[in-house]
Amino acid sequence: MILRRITGAFRRQDWFTVAIETLIVVLGVFLGLQASNWNADRLARAQADDLLQRMIVEAEEARADMADYRDSHAWILDKALKLSVRLNATEDCLAMDDEMKTLILAVGDFPPPRFSLATANEAIESDSLSIIGSADIRSEVRRMVDEMTFVERQWQRYVRVKQDSEKAIYTAAGLSLSRDEALKVLPGNEWSGIDQYRLQTPEGVCGKPEMVAYASNAALTEHIYTIFLGEVSEKLDQYAALLSAYRSKGQMPDKAPAP
């Protein structure tokens, strides 16, 4: 209809009407584009906020899981240190009381990390992280994902040492089952079911330098691993706080926490 009016105005040489009608067309196109851009921006902001919220929830869950994981490894480290000492005390070691059996069984306790930043990692791989407006936040997300990936790599190194120690010490001690029934042993902060196991050759580990070395190496590796977990835990705390501050303020804090 507008085009028909403009054509008619041209024929009549009604330049004022032509100008007005043309202005209406241009203005309509402009407003349409502005509305489309505004809607796209609004959608992008909503998507960015949703991603940010999911990464915050994920970070908080990872923090809780990390705290439990560190507690488990603190217990394992305590048992590893005690085992190294008791293996050197031959007479005390040969007594093979329940505590000593627990210390030896605990060599085989090496729980893997069961937490990650899957949402953040997917955002990086799919390039959807780019919808987050802050370059600093994007950088922090990438850095923290790298840290969590490194936790997994460190565990792979750690578990190889633990498995070598487990095999050597279990074999030398003659670890065996004492009766044929469903296994009840539960590793962790409170072991149970250790009466199902017996050590047939305690003299194979007690006072033996090679076994002491295996146990000490496992303890040292555990110690290094727990220190590393503590460092990553601090960075995870800072990461979670940074995301929350950015979302609540819509901008970076005045000073981001030191990495």
* pLDDT given for residue 242 in this prediction: 94
Is 187 contained in some domain?
yes
What is the distance between the alpha carbons of residues 253 and 242, in angstroms, rounded to a whole number? 8
- The pLDDT, as a whole number, for residue 254 is 39
Range of the domain at 161: 54-249
Mean pLDDT of 105-133: 91
Counted domains in the chain? 1
Name the average pLDDT for the chain: 83
Q: What is the pLDDT of residue 194?
A: 77
**Using one digit for the tens of pLDDT, what is the confidence trace for 215-241?**
999 999 999 999 999 999 999 999 999
Higher per-residue pLDDT: 227 or 12: 227
Q: Which residue has the higher pLDDT, 10 or 29?
A: 29
Helices (H), the chain: 2-12, 15-88, 90-94, 98-105, 118-126, 135-173, 209-249
Give the mean model confidence (pLDDT) for residues 156-167.
93
Q: How far apart are CA 253 and CA 246, in angstroms?
A: 7
